[in-house]
């Protein structure tokens, strides 16, 4: 089989908990690129927070905001902000339940309360740089959002419409944090748009992920790998299981396919 596209989640897949990656992981990515495979970073992170990593790994194509934005070598393929009226409802839910929201636009990460320790902990945990206080003026520009200080039962409050679902942030230290996702705008949706644009069949694609926000991505590609450290519920959606991020899971999976 000739593989043409590789989609890589970042946190827990490329990056370890200390925000570093192994040299073996970098070498594996470099090797498949040299063999003609186009590599995408496919993340819940906002685009402006992954530029340094992209430069280090020499990657120029992206799925960000859990699929609400996608680009291929500077060509925008997907750009779908969350509807303003939905964001207004989420703000009200957060206010009524002592939650906090972090909302991601193309430029910044907007917080409902930057001074609250749990928000600062989240910002530090993901090493987020472009942070600002929320303003209603950005409500029509939000591409993704994370709710914090949310119990599992309360998470359902954000599933206000059939189009919305929540996914626990699968990183140690981010307990009671949930990404607010759309069922029809996700990493798998962006991959479908990319494949249609490039004229590539799913069987020629590979993806690696570790969180439930990677579910649709792993289902869409031909060869989906769940990392060994993945959320327990993710494994049933993956064709393969590989080693953990600390054990060179990307490299081991690519070896399994005979790519390195």
According to CATH, the superfamily of the domain at 5-80+185-256 is HAD superfamily/HAD-like (3.40.50.1000)
Alpha-carbon span 237 to 142, nearest angstrom: 28
Q: What is the pTM of this model?
A: 0.92
Domain chopping of the chain, boundaries: 5-80+185-256, 84-182
Say yes or no to pLDDT of 101 above 90: yes
Alpha-carbon span 259 to 136, nearest angstrom: 48
CATH fold group of domain 84-182 = 3.30.1240
Say yes or no to pLDDT of 1 above 90: no
The tokens 């470099």 sit on which residue?
Answer: 30
- Give the model's confidence band at 160: pLDDT under 50 very low, under 70 low, under 90 confident, else very high: confident
Find out whether 141 and 60 touch, Cβ atoms under 8 Å.
Answer: no
What interhelical angle do 23-34 and 249-256 show, nearest 10? Answer: 40
Alpha-carbon span 143 to 86, nearest angstrom: 12
- Tell me, what's the pLDDT at 161? 79
- Give the model's confidence band at 130: pLDDT under 50 very low, under 70 low, under 90 confident, else very high: very high
Alpha-carbon span 246 to 176, nearest angstrom: 24
Question: Residue 150 has which token pair?
Answer: 């949310």
């Amino acid at each position: 089989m000739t593989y043409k596209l590789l989609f890589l989640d970042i946190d827990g897949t490329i990056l370890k908990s200390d925000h570093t990656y192994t040299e073996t992981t970098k070498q594996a990515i470099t090797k498949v690129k040299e063999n003609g495979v186009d590599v995408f970073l496919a993340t819940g992170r906002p685009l402006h927070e992954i530029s340094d990593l992209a430069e280090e790994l020499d990657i120029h194509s992206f799925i960000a905001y859990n699929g609400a934005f996608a680009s291929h070598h500077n060509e925008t393929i997907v750009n779908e902000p969350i509807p303003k009226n939905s964001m207004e409802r989420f703000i009200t839910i957060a206010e009524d339940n002592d939650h906090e929201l972090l909302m991601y636009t193309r430029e910044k990460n907007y917080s409902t309360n930057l001074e609250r320790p749990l928000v600062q902990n989240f910002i530090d945990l993901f090493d987020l740089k472009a942070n600002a206080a929320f303003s209603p003026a950005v409500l029509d520009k939000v591409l993704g959002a994370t709710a914090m200080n949310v119990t599992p039962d309360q998470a359902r409050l954000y599933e206000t419409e059939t189009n919305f679902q929540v996914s626990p942030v699968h990183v140690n230290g981010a307990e009671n944090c949930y990404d607010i996702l759309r069922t029809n705008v996700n990493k798998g949706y962006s991959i479908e748009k990319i494949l249609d644009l490039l004229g590539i069949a799913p069987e020629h694609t590979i993806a690696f992920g570790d969180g439930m926000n990677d579910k649709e991505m792993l289902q869409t590609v031909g060869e989906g790998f769940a990392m060994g450290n993945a959320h327990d519920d993710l494994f049933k959606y993956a064709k393969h299981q590989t080693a953990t991020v600390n054990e060179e899971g990307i490299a081991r999976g690519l070896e399994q396919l005979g790519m390195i």
